[in-house]
Amino acid sequence: MKKPWAGRFAQKTSGAVESFTESVSFDRKLWKHDIAGSIAHAKMLAKQRIITAKESAAIIAGLSATAEAISSGKFRFSPELEDIHMNIESSLTERIGEPGRKLHTARSRNDQVALDLRLYLREQMQDIISLIRKLQKMFMVTAERHQDTVMPGYTHLQRAQPVLLAHHLLAYVEMFQRDRERFRDCMQRTDTCPLGSCALAGTSLPTDRAYTAKLLGFSKISGNSIDAVSDRDFALEFLSCAAIAMMHLSRLAEELILWSTEEFRFLEISDRFTTGSSIMPQKKNPDVAELMRGKTGRVYGNLMALLTLMKGLPLAYNRDMQEDKLPVFDSAETLTGCLSVLLEMLKEVKFNTARLRETAAGGYATATDIAEYLVRKGIPFRSAHEITGRIVLYCISRNIPLTGLSLQELRTFSAALTEDILEILDPVSSVKARSSFGGTSPSEVKRQLRHYRNLLK
């Protein structure tokens, strides 16, 4: 098969080289974006009278027919033509003849692929932002139902202080909000049209790059043709956003795994989202959450792969950059898949509220409340901390909870402890007292819920 660049070469390309250099086996994912870019380019060429209106119409009709063939599965992708761009252009020329040979006027595969990748990521990020918003709303619904459910909060995976389950769930809403904002910011830098930069130097033909950008829905065009074809910052930024989002999903997955164990018994994952053991009949394994945790490593790897790929490349385009697509495709599909299955799984998670309340009372979780009580009585915090520590040690040595202490016993540690201290030792009272902005008190949780409802409208 004749190469589009065959004029310069006296020998045919080695079959081994064709197999090694082809990318159509994976960049075919860009066919819709490639055709959209080509249609816009054909319209611009006609507007600028670089080709005739009749030729432009023939090109657009031919591209539409090629799109239909690909969509219906009738299109034959040829590795000999290297990539999605040449496969589509070759098909177009076969369909409409000489006008098809004019489509590549005033552009290069360098700016063409940069365009396709931007169009692809713009589409993917819109979907991801939408999925994250749905996930936030699901957490909101669950938090609404658990405004009165007290649970132990943790630091170092040790019981720390009582919190509301709603407050814990809203931490993920806040986390995912940052993810949405990151992807929206990334969209702004992806929203730049490189088409018309050609190989690296622009063109001598009277093109209208602003018109092409407008047809493709871009708000701006690239300002430097060398940078336009060699820039993959937008892809790196996307991979970074995806890696951070996957880290958040992995943390959530870890909690789902831990909390569903017999040791915690805080929640139960539906049978529909768990699997069994091939040898142990009693097992119910949280495989979906475990795979989500595991796939995070792949997404991290994709970011490192592209960073490493780009770090030593001289300007402008280099063939190394063909390797940018697999990491981008994999991260987009992995993140979208994880968000989609998580949305389904969380609908059927059931919290064990009795177990959460019971556990919140253990582990001397209201010790900080004693220290803050003493502070309110005028005792310096460091002194209050030491007094409380001795109270906890006393309880540990006698294997009793803080609520098992009598007022008389408490007063042996400090005369500042009076009868009202007994009420403070209750986890529910502890939670109600934590009314600082962003805290876990019912009033603050209600305020947070109102805030996120407005944010997610």
- Catalytic amino acids? 156, 277
Type of residue found at 188: Q
The Cα–Cα gap between 324 and 244 comes to 19
- CA count, 13 A, side-chain hemisphere, 53: 1
Q: Distance between CA 411 and CA 377 in Å, rounded?
A: 14
Give the whole-angstrom CA distance, residue 428 versus residue 411: 23
Grouping H, G, I as helix, E, B as strand and the rest as coil, residue 245 is helix
Query: 418: helix, coil or strand?
Result: coil
CB atoms within 10 A of CB 408: 7
Closest CA to 387 of 357, 360, 359, 410: 410
Q: Is the bond leading into 316 cis (omega within 30 degrees of zero)?
A: yes
User: By 3-state DSSP, what share of the chain in percent is helix, strand and coil, each rounded to 5?
Assistant: 65, 5, 30
Q: 155 - beta bridge partners?
A: 158
Q: Are strands 192-193 and 220-221 parallel, antiparallel or unpaired?
A: parallel
